[in-house]
Every structure is written in structure tokens, then in C-alpha cells.
A and B are shown apart, each in its own frame.
Chain A
Amino acid sequence: MIRNIIAIAKNTFRETMRDRILLSGLVVILAIILFTLFIGSISIDQTTRIITDFGVTAIYTLQIFVAIFIGSMLMYKEIERKTLYLIFPKPITKTELVIGKCIGLLATTCMVTIICTLFLFVLLAIKGGAVFFFPIIVSMFLSSLEVLILILISLFFSSFISPILAAVATITLYLVGHSSDIFRYIFKTIESPSIEYILRGLYYFLPNLEKFNIRNEIVYSTVPSLPLLISTTIYACVYALFLLYITHLVIQKKDL
């Protein structure tokens, strides 16, 4: 099982890393990070904070792009272009394939994240902003957990709907996942107990992606406590296992 998963992951990593769309995205983000030097230079004594703020946001945008758009295309391309016809008659299960695809794409995201973060660190080091290194690493770790959930959501949708619809559905869940504050506000204002009950159910069922967002805090060089980081990691792992399970159920029933 592990051998098959690693083989698929390695293959997915190679395939996606050579994808021209990803390489173009990587170049654009590196250019944006370089551009933060200029934006930082026109601020008053806030150069390193501006570079950190813009740089981290740019890297996060690339991570989300990879998770949603490349993730949505991944399974659909396999099914529609019938690449799976070459894989499934071999001694491999559909679940091993999904896990391998997920790990491969996560590895791709981590690789582009590492490249961009190292580039950002070089700029920060030049400008004397080494104090932001650790908060940025923590932020990248948390956003990678968010990416794991988004990859699994896009893999889940793309296993039974077209990539465009899968991307739209994933973006919708992404936006809902970042709206936990709105949910909490609605709970306080809503009068109907039954609607509140339904909304509370949705609140706990849908992914709470705001848990992974510390981008506002890191410009003040603050990071969450270790217990909070551990509980957030456990939340991401449990949610990822749940998504993996429902994707497994869908793909098992799929007739190629």
C-alpha cells in the first residue's frame, strides 16, 4: 500500500512541478515578492513589515491557486483523458490513488512554498527583518494545513463533477470556511431557534479555515501558543481524514 501511494505521489509531484501553469504562477509570485522591496521603500520605517505582509500574502495566494485550480484538474484530467485506464488495471486501489495524488500535490505546494519563502527570507535578511523568520515559518506551516484541506475538497469534487464546477464548489467552501466570524454574528442576531440550530450544525460541519490564518499577527512578530498549534494541527488531520473517507466512498462507486 505505502509503495503504491509513494509511487503515485512521486509521479504527481513530477507531473505538477513541470506544469507550465504552475511555473508561470511561481514566476509571478516571485516577481510580486521582489516588488515588495519597492512598496516597502515608500513606507515610513515599516519596510520589513510591508515586505513580510505582502510577501506572505503573495505566497498564500499561490498556495490557494495550486490547491484549488490544479487540485480540481487533477482527478478530472485522469478520468476524462482516461489516464486512469493505464493505472487501475494494475495492482492498486482507488483509495491509494487518491491518497497518492493528495500527497503529491501537497508536496508540490510545499516545494513552491519553500522556494518563495526562501526568496522572501533573502529580501528580509537584506533589509534586517530576520525577526520575522520564525512567525513566517509558523504561518507557512498553518497555511499548508489549510492547503491540505483544500486539496482534499477539490479532489473530492473533481472526482464526480467537471473541473470548473469543482473549482467553484471549492472556492465557495473556501469563502465559507473563512467566514466563521459572520456565522458567530448571525447566531447572536437570529431569532428562529430551528434556523440557528441548522446554522450551528453547518458551522461545525464545514471547515473552519480561519483557524489557519495568522497572517495579521505575524507582522507584529507574534505566533500562537504551542497548545493552540497542536489543536489546530489535530483539527486539520481529522478533517482531512473525513474528506479522504468521503472521497474514497465516491470514487469506489465510480464506473470508469
Chain B
Amino acid sequence: MNDIIISNLSKSYTKKKATVHVVRDLSLSVTKGTVFGFIGPNGAGKTSTIKILVGLSQPTSGSVSICGGKPSDLSVRQKIGFMPESPTFYQYLTGHEFLDLIATLFDIKEKKKKIKAVLHDVDLLHAENKTIRTYSKGMLQRLGLAQAIINDPDVLFLDEPLDGLDPLGRAEVKKIILDLKSRGKTIFINTHILGDVEEICDMVGIIDKGILIRADPPSVIAQGYVDLEDAFVHTITERRQQSMKPN
């Protein structure tokens, strides 16, 4: 069963009379209980795709199905968690107050208990009553993850979750992701850090200039190359050379 189904998804913007295609005819599906790594260079269309998947942005054409519904459906949103890239928060609230707001939106019962548990999971319990403006980059990332998992989502979308974390923090976040995976959660990750992708993802999709080049298990992609990073670099380079060749 697929928790995420993307069919012929395209997204374009018109800027100064020129149309910029950020996602082109993207189709893929993510099986329930698996971790899908979406990798690509800067500006490849990863964040634009994830924004459509969580309902922040509307596709120009094509469709998206999350847990059998549209991302705009409130019943679907109840089942998903999203951590944006470099999340920004309300600076004058404390970590606990912010999570209280999110827990209220999800109508979570026994909020205090749940907030404490999530803060413990991301190792932020010691800073729960400090205002967010005093948090370090790593603490902000952890709070971003905490708000994404507070509703115990069926499908989790993470945009660069390991960005800005020290090795210890990265290990902790990876542990959380693997724990969620072991509990049957479906996880969609946008990332640049290919070493971590190899470690935690069941499937990897490589995207460049809005086009999905391939989607396979990391071991299959890395076959014939030194590692996944080598495979990624060669795949992108070859694709770009092909597209530059005259027809």
C-alpha cells in the first residue's frame, strides 16, 4: 500500500514574463512504512515538491494523494508531520508554549504529558521554558522535529532535518527517524547529506532541474560506483550532458 502517490506533478512560476518550471511531470509513490530519500542539488525542486505534498503550495498540474486524501484536507493534515528547512519560530515564545500551540491545533489529549515526552525525545527538556530566540541552530532543528512528531503522524515530511546539527545531534535525529520507521511510519526526507541517506532510506529519488531522474533503493543506485555520493554525482552529470546534446 502506498501512503504517498504523486502523479504527473508540475509546478511553474511566472517571473517577469518568464515561466520557471520548478517541478516537471513528477510521478512517484512511497510505500507505507518506508523511508524515502529525495536528493538533488540546490534548486532541483525538492522543497517545491515537499511544499505541495504538505499543502503549502498548489501544483500547476498533476495530483498528490497522502493517506488516500488531498493535502488540503484537514483529516489528512491530522495524520501528517512536517519539518521545514531551517524552521523559524515565534521568537518570544518558549519551546513549551510553541509545542502547546501545535498540540492544541492537533487536539491532542493530555497535552502536557505529550509535550514533555516529545521534548525528552529530541533532548530539549532542559530548555522548554527558555524563549526560542535564545535557542541555538541545533536546538531550533530539534524543536522543528518535535513539532513534526508531536501528533504521532502516519506520514512524516522532513526537509533537510540534519542541517545544522553537530554529529551527536545528527546521530540522535537519525535514531528518532529509525525509531519512527520501526513503528511503521512513512517518512519522506529531502536532504543533501548522502551518507545519512544510505543509512536510513529504503528508497532514493534523484531529482535535477525539476525532473525525477531515477528512484531506486540506495544499494541499487550505488551499484557500479564507489558509494551513493559518487553515483549521485555521476547520475546528475550524465543527465546534464545528455540534455545539452543537440537532438
- Shortest Cβ distance from A6 into B: residue: B104
**A86 contacts B57, CB within 8 Å?**
no
**B55 contacts A89, CB within 8 Å?**
yes
Q: Contacting B77 at CB < 8 Å: which of A11, A86, A89, A255?
A: A89
Interface residues of A, count at CB 8 A: 25
Asked if B90 lies at the interface with its beta carbon under 8 angstroms from chain A, I say yes
Bound-state CA distance A4–B78 (Å) is: 13
Stretch at the interface among A12-20, A46-54, A205-213, A235-243: A12-20
Q: Contacting A11 at CB < 8 Å: which of B54, B101, B147?
A: B101
**A7 contacts B144, CB within 8 Å?**
no
**A81 contacts B88, CB within 8 Å?**
yes
**A92 contacts B105, CB within 8 Å?**
yes
Bound-state CA distance A81–B105 (Å) is: 20
Asked if A3 lies at the interface with its beta carbon under 8 angstroms from chain B, I say yes
B48 CB to nearest A CB, Å: 11
Asked if A91 lies at the interface with its beta carbon under 8 angstroms from chain B, I say yes
Most buried by A among B54, B131, B157: B54
Asked if B102 lies at the interface with its beta carbon under 8 angstroms from chain A, I say yes
Interface residues of B, count at CB 8 A: 32
Contacts of B88 in A (CB 8 A): 81-83, 85-86
- Given A88-B55, A91-B77, A15–B92 Cβ distance below 8 Å? yes
Interface string of A75-119 (1 = CB under 8 A from B): 000000111111111111100000000000000000000000000
Bound-state CA distance A18–B94 (Å) is: 11
Interface string of B87-109 (1 = CB under 8 A from A): 11111110001000110111100
Asked if A226 lies at the interface with its beta carbon under 8 angstroms from chain B, I say no
Asked if B74 lies at the interface with its beta carbon under 8 angstroms from chain A, I say yes
- Given A7-B105, A11-B101, A15-B93, A85–B58 Cβ distance below 8 Å? no
- Given A3-B107, A4-B105, A83-B88, A89–B93 Cβ distance below 8 Å? no
Asked if B56 lies at the interface with its beta carbon under 8 angstroms from chain A, I say yes
Asked if B82 lies at the interface with its beta carbon under 8 angstroms from chain A, I say yes
- Shortest Cβ distance from B143 into A: residue: A86
Q: Contacting A86 at CB < 8 Å: which of B87, B92, B157?
A: B87
Asked if A198 lies at the interface with its beta carbon under 8 angstroms from chain B, I say no
A43 CB to nearest B CB, Å: 41
A and B contact pairs by CB, cutoff 8 A, 30 listed: A3-B104, A4-B105, A7-B101, A7-B105, A11-B90, A11-B93, A14-B93, A14-B97, A15-B93, A18-B92, A81-B88, A82-B88, A83-B89, A85-B84, A86-B82, A86-B88, A86-B147, A88-B54, A89-B54, A89-B55, A89-B80, A90-B102, A90-B105, A91-B105, A91-B107, A92-B74, A93-B74, A255-B57, A256-B56, A256-B57
Question: Given A10-B101, A11-B101, A86-B87, 9 more contacts at CB 8 Å?
Answer: A14-B93, A85-B56, A88-B55, A89-B82, A90-B102, A90-B106, A92-B105, A93-B74, A256-B57
Binding site for A on B (CB under 8 A): 51, 54-58, 71, 74-75, 77-78, 80, 82, 84, 87-93, 97, 101-102, 104-107, 131, 144, 147, 157
Binding site for B on A (CB under 8 A): 3-4, 7-8, 10-11, 14-15, 18-19, 81-93, 255-256
